[in-house]
A and B are shown apart, each in its own frame.
Chain A
């Protein structure tokens, strides 16, 4: 029984919670492939997508998920530049709260900001990414993709490769995959590994081929080259040379290893186009499809735990 009021991170979920979400998401994958993709689970409920950091893809996925479930969905772009100076996050929360939303989907550039907001509103809050902290629906959609491709979500060897230090996707995935009892590796240059990573229950590699050896799943992360070049990596071409995923490097992984990426990709920086577009290995398009289904499942479960008359 999914008993959470908010979805703030993978950290608060148990393996049972994760399985319940994925099982429900499976049914929504089937629904989404039908001609009539509509159910009325959220009819009458209001979902607000509050994005302090722009994200076309994640916002679209949440919007579609809410609409297919029958909610009234509103998008609010709150990028810093357009935020009225002086209005704090909590002011915004209180303003929104007065509009009686039922589900609030929040992305924010500061770690912990979504949890802070959840303390100030009366509705269910979904974390759509907070700073470098967590991005739980990304980890859940990755888990669903792996489970459907591999037939299980345990005893797999999974390598996460790239900017671990600044990635909320990496943190949520490490938590999620460890909870489901997989073997997790991280592969990155030392400058992109966070302090204390060896205590996250992962094996740490700076050599890509050593890290990929025998892997069932290879997860690539996006390199924000404009921010990292010169401070954390010398150049994108040297990065690609050492940590870019090519068919040659992938050859040391298991023959049936799948390749994942949360998008948007930088072809030629962290991943070679040949690998990214190889339909036998790359499940990147499938991740996008699973994203909508997982978000429908989470919205559905949280809506069941809303009180009666608000």
Chain B
């Protein structure tokens, strides 16, 4: 067994206890052995990592990452995604099933997880598909997918239009206590849309979807979740209109949680500006009033989870007119710096940030990480919350460089990341 490691002279950020203050950690056998608050004790035997007073937090758990294995490794491999994740402070990510072929079969889940564990420096889990071929028609073998290691079931960006199918999937999952993750967008209204309806999209002449498409699907899902008793997670909410039904479901005691992507927390529809295809996202960027509302909902606890919604695309797929360009953006490597914008704006505390980025996703998925406590895995991120830099997309570790933050000023850099006590990233 390797000698213990001591992280001394740190500013500990522990979302599980709400502690944000000086302290030290002792790590041994891949887990946290001891948490010391206040002045760091003399470490004695072992390796010492002097944190220099910088924040040390549980590594981020990112619930929504697309990796092109199997089928599109030129866009992102488990190796490149893992390296990007580590540089963004993400020590665990959940691969989405929208691969080619999709992860709708237990053997495919096993294949993806085996590939990931072979090459990725960070921990990787996967969600299994909710319907065969992500077609929204026939349910998958939920039990076998879970047995193969799937941590939840979802069709990713594909909203399931057929309420009968969705109800069956939810009812079946409820009996297995499986988590159903859904992308709430009314598909008929959003068909062909690449912007949110309103003055701005109309001026640009872009096909658009009204913001209520999100609320409509969420309300249907919540009604089905209530009748089936399933654990339900809305993957990415982005509109003010969807928040009231979510709040009502919470008050009624439904087992319902919700996420939001970092892009929808930090960007709005005006960023599309002159048809910049790197800002073509799912769901489309929203009005500033919507962005404000979801930031508030996140700060106040209504929204539980921040995701990167990492969706890599090669250059060809984005070098097209806006309507024809691929939809999505990479987000792993900018996860922490982008989230820190909200901290610097005074909208989130560091503790709340790590609740939403580490503790809550781990809790929702039943994973052990996301906290600084004895017995928790030693998955850690050390960062300088203030260090400024200008992002150059060419330097990204992802195979694809489609970030909306290219050439933008960012504040906050990851200094180091550890998985099971082993260093996987150093600036």
Query: What residues make up the interface of A, taking CB atoms closer than 8 Å to B?
Result: 88-90, 108, 110-113, 115-116, 130-134, 165, 168, 171, 194-197, 199-200
Contact = CB atoms under 8 A, between A and B. Distances in A.
Contacts of A195: 197-199, 201-202, 208, 210
A89 B320 contact: yes
A200 B199 contact: yes
A136 to B, nearest CB: 13
Contacts of B172: none
Interface stretch (B90-98, B321-329, B379-387): B321-329
B200 A111 contact: no
A116 B278 CA distance: 13
Given A112-B323, A195-B198, 10 more contacts: A88-B316, A88-B320, A90-B320, A111-B206, A112-B322, A115-B275, A132-B206, A196-B199, A196-B200, A196-B201
Contacts of B201: 195-196
B205 interface: yes
B321 A108 contact: yes
Contacts of B316: 88
B202 A197 contact: yes
Contacts of B323: 110-112, 131
From A108, A116, A199, name the one whose CB has the most chain B CB atoms within 10 angstroms: A116
The 3 residue pairs across chains A and B that have the minimum distance between CB atoms: A196-B199, A112-B275, A132-B205
| Interface SS of B by simple majority | loop
A171 B197 CA distance: 16
B198 A171 contact: no
Contacts of A168: 205
B191 to A, nearest CB: 12
Nearest to B208: A195
A171 B205 contact: yes
B208 A111 contact: no
Given A88-B316, A115-B275, A116-B275, A194 B202 contact: yes
A9 B147 CA distance: 58
A165 B208 CA distance: 11
A110 B321 contact: yes
B351 to A, nearest CB: 39
Interface string B190-230: 00000001111111111010100000000000000000000
A111 B319 contact: no
B321 A196 contact: no
Contacts of B200: 196
B162 interface: no
Contacts of A116: 275, 321
Interface size grouping (class) on chain B = 20 to 34
Contact of A115 (B199, B202, B274, B320): B274
A174 B205 CA distance: 13
Contacts of B322: 110-112
Interface of B: 197-206, 208, 210, 274-275, 316, 319-324
Nearest to A112: B275
Given A89-B321, A196-B198, A112 B210 contact: no
Of B199, B200, B316, the most chain A CB neighbours within 10 A belong to B199
A200 B201 CA distance: 12
A197 B274 CA distance: 19
Nearest to A134: B205
Nearest to B317: A88
Of B202, B319, B322, most A-chain CB atoms within 10 Å = B202
B204 A111 contact: yes
Nearest to A164: B202
B90 to A, nearest CB: 33
Nearest to B206: A111
A131 B206 CA distance: 8
24 contacts: A90-B319, A110-B321, A110-B322, A110-B324, A111-B204, A111-B206, A111-B275, A111-B321, A111-B322, A112-B205, A112-B322, A115-B274, A115-B275, A116-B275, A131-B323, A132-B206, A133-B205, A168-B205, A195-B199, A195-B208, A196-B197, A196-B201, A196-B202, A196-B203
A195 B199 CA distance: 6
A88 B205 contact: no
B212 to A, nearest CB: 11
Q: A108, A110, A130: which has the most chain B beta carbons within 10 Å?
A: A110
A112 B324 CA distance: 11
Contacts of B203: 171, 196, 200
Contacts of A108: 321
Nearest to B196: A195
A5 to B, nearest CB: 15
A122 B203 CA distance: 27
Given A116-B321, A195-B197, A131 B205 contact: yes
A200 B204 CA distance: 12
A196 B316 CA distance: 33
Interface centre among A131, A168, A171, A197, by most chain B C-beta atoms within 10 angstroms, is A131
A171 B204 CA distance: 9
Nearest to A199: B199
Contacts of B202: 165, 194-197, 200
Nearest to A166: B205
Contacts of B208: 195
Contact of B319 (A88, A134, A165, A171): A88
Most B C-beta atoms less than 10 A away, residue of A111, A165, A199, A200:
A111
Contacts of B197: 195-196
